[in-house]
Amino acid sequence: MLSLKQDVSRKDEKTGKHVKIGEYTVTVPTLEDIASHIVSAKKTSEEDGIPVFDNAVANWVQDALFAYSKASARNKLDPKTGAVKAGLKIAETWDEFTAEGGRGNNGAALALLRECREAFATYIGTLGKSEAAQKAITQYFNNKTALELAAADRKQKVKEYIEAWADSLDEPTLERFQRPIENVLASCEAVAAADDF
């Protein structure tokens, strides 16, 4: 297992910058640590459709996979209707799970994000909007913080543009752009509660 030092920081009220106030050690199991337990695991039963194995490590891995899969799927649902949000798809294959991000594919993820942003900007350019409006819409799409801080009506309009664009994409392209689209739609939903201020 790996032991990795992690910083604990807090925001300085005067400067607004995060300053280190301490550190802690996090222990991270590696694939090498897990492999022998998984290979030798025997399924003994099922609980709620999830396999139960004869060793704790295999059960821990299975539970972690289930928790990730469930959370990933839930994040793709519209909280008002329970339907999958426009432009998104719940992962069903390893390719779809691994396309959702993770370590080791940052270069590919950045290239995909850039391609997604360019495709969205091209789409917005076909709508007959003024140059200023096109710039504003694409900036919201490209800047998570700006979108999260935008007024509710602006967020709603951006969401509508994204959903219309997603509907215009062919299925392979929509699958490739799934993660970036999901992230922008999540920013459209971000609302600061009044008691947070």
CA-to-CA distance for 112 and 115, rounded, in angstroms? 5
pLDDT tens-place values along the chain, 197 residues long: 899 888 887 877 888 777 888 888 989 889 898 998 899 999 999 998 999 999 999 999 999 889 888 888 887 888 788 888 776 788 888 877 776 655 554 556 667 888 999 999 999 999 999 999 999 999 999 988 888 888 888 999 999 999 999 999 988 888 889 888 988 888 887 654 334 43
The token pair at 143 is 């800047």
Q: What is the pTM of this model?
A: 0.49
65 contacts: CB under 8 Å, gap ≥ 6: none
Strand 18-28 to 43-47 pairing: unpaired
* Helix H or strand E encompassing 85: none
Three-state secondary structure call for residue 19: strand
The Cα 184–Cα 3 span in angstroms is 34
Q: Are 2 and 27 in contact (CB under 8 A)?
A: yes
